[in-house]
Amino acid sequence: MLPQGTGTSGTARIDNLRQRLKLRRGRAFLITSLINIRYLTGFSGSSGYLLITGEGCYFFTDFRYQEQSKAEVVSCEIIITKKDPVGYIIKSIEKKGIKHLACEDTLSYRQFAMFSKKFQMTALKDTIEKIRLIKDEAELWHIRRAAKRAEDAFIGIKPQIKAGVTEKAVASMLEESLTAQGVSNMPFKVIAASGRHAAMPHAKPTDKALEGGDLLILDWGGESDGYYSDMTRTFLIAGGNDLSKKREIYDIVRNANREARNSVRTGQSAAEVDMAARRVIADAGYGQYFGHSTGHGVGIEVHELPYISAVNRKQKLEQNMVFTIEPGIYIPALGGVRIEDMVCVTGDSPQMITNLSRNLEII
């Protein structure tokens, strides 16, 4: 199923990390984020610590994961901890002659305090997250498959979305359809927001039935082997009258989405992509109704680097970064529109990961 020779091995990722860290004797990096541990080693369990030294790589877990870690963890020595894993790990790190220990800045304060008693500590921010920014071919393959599953899941239930059906029913149909497509772990609960609820970017589905003239925002994601996708489409429910403002904001958001996608190229800043979308909406007079940033990275987390926001001037886009473009306009009482796509940065124009039509559909 996977393309061959794609460089997805944990060895390559750990080597890459070690090169960046330039660990000297007596120094090590302790990784505690399970998501980063999964990225580096393949371990998918719920308890583990990863220690990288200049020479070696050590994965600590407890007896529950003895067999699983043997099957999953590549290129690390596996150490099964006894009771009190942190105490055990501290002793083991001391034995290696480590004096300076770097940790991730997400380490809990309680554990930070325990390690601080024995080691000189440094907290590192986003070290592995920055490596995760650039997707390799195997990762892109899974992200594309996740998006395909999400689109197929939607196409399967689309005929059943119509006036009279509740938001909750739409959301649960789509979730069942995602499961049927092979999605085993949804990135988030499906958002189905209609009518005035569509003015809330992250509304929870309710018992409200879809009514003629409602804008319906559907935001959903797929998954493939731990990699996620994320997309949003907005529909108009057939019926109702005086739809001119709804059509107007739809066209503006669609133009903003297109302008932002057209601005994606290697070397461009994330802030410029945000501005490309924001300019269209502000020029049309709706700037105050677009209160969130334009996008976010997607991979083994559904929200990860890079953040496509106006403040992210220093983040330059590079080949094989994957993120969303999701401008929106939300007007209290009227409703809202969001059109969210996923792109992969490629040279001067991005490759689209999501492909469902962006034309206004009346259903």
Note if the bond before 306 is cis, omega within 30 degrees.
Answer: yes
Contact between residue 346 and residue 298 where contact means Cβ atoms under 8 Å apart: no
Start-to-end CA distance of the chain, whole Å, equals: 36
- Cα–Cα separations (whole angstroms), residue 84 to 62, 88, 90, 347: 10, 6, 10, 50
Nearer to Mn ion, 30 or 231 (CB): 231
Nearer to Mn ion, 59 or 154 (CB): 154
Radius of gyration of the chain (CA): 23
For residue 353, the minimal CB distance to Mn ion (Å) is: 12
Contact 86, 103 (CB under 8 A): no
Provide the minimum distance between the beta carbon of 328 and Mn ion in the complex, in angstroms, as a whole number: 10
Instruction: Compare residues 10 and 350 and give the one whose CB is closer to Mn ion.
Output: 350
Report helix, strand or coil for 68.
Answer: helix
* Chain position whose Cβ is nearest to Mn ion: 230
Minimal distance, residue 228 CB to Mn ion, in Å: 10
Q: For residues 53 and 137, what is the distance between their CA atoms, to the nearest angstrom?
A: 28
- Asked whether position 341 contacts Mn ion by CB under 5 A, the answer is no
Site string for Mn ion, 266-305 (x = CB under 5 A): ----------------------------------------
67-75, 146-154, 228-236, 243-251 -> range binding Mn ion (CB under 5 A): 228-236
Enter the tokens of residue 91: 């002793």
- Taking contact as CB under 5 A, which single stretch among the options 70-78, 180-188, 252-260, 320-328 is the one that binds Mn ion? 320-328
Compute the least distance from the CB of residue 273 to Mn ion, in Å. 14
Indicate the SS3 state at residue 29. Answer: strand
Residue 192 tokens read as: 């189905």
Stretch that binds Mn ion, among 190-198, 208-216, 282-290, 322-330 (CB under 5 A): 322-330
Phi, psi values for residue 170, rounded to 5°: -60, -45
Q: 36 or 324, CB closer to Mn ion?
A: 324
Q: Three-state DSSP class for 78?
A: strand
CA distance linking residue 118 with residue 111, whole number of Å = 12
Kindly state the smallest distance separating residue 339's Cβ from Mn ion, in Å.
11
Of 223 and 230, the one with the shorter C-beta distance to Mn ion is 230
Q: Which is nearer to Mn ion, 42 or 327 (CB)?
A: 327
Structure tokens belonging to residue 41: 């080693």
**Minimum CB separation from Mn ion for residue 315, in Å?**
17
Among residues 363, 199, 209, which one has the least CA distance to residue 292? 199
For residue 230, state whether it binds Mn ion (rule: CB under 5 A): yes
H helices present in the chain, as ranges? 10-21, 34-41, 66-72, 85-95, 109-116, 127-132, 137-157, 167-180, 244-262, 270-283
- Scan residues 231-270 and list those touching Mn ion (CB under 5 A): none
Q: Considering CB under 5 A, how many residues would be counted as binding Mn ion?
A: 2
Cβ distance 203 to 328 under 8 Å? no
As a whole number of angstroms, the distance between CA 231 and CA 343 comes to 11
To Mn ion, the closest distance from the beta carbon of 288 in angstroms equals: 21
Least distance to Mn ion, CB of residue 79, Å: 38
> Which region, judged by CB under 5 A, interacts with Mn ion, from 72-80, 224-232, 235-243, 350-358?
224-232
> What is the rounded CA–CA span in Å between residue 100 and residue 103?
10
Of 195 and 201, nearer to Mn ion (C-beta) is 201
Q: Which is nearer to Mn ion, 81 or 324 (CB)?
A: 324
Does 324 participate in binding Mn ion (rule CB under 5 A)? yes
Binding site for Mn ion (CB under 5 A): 230, 324
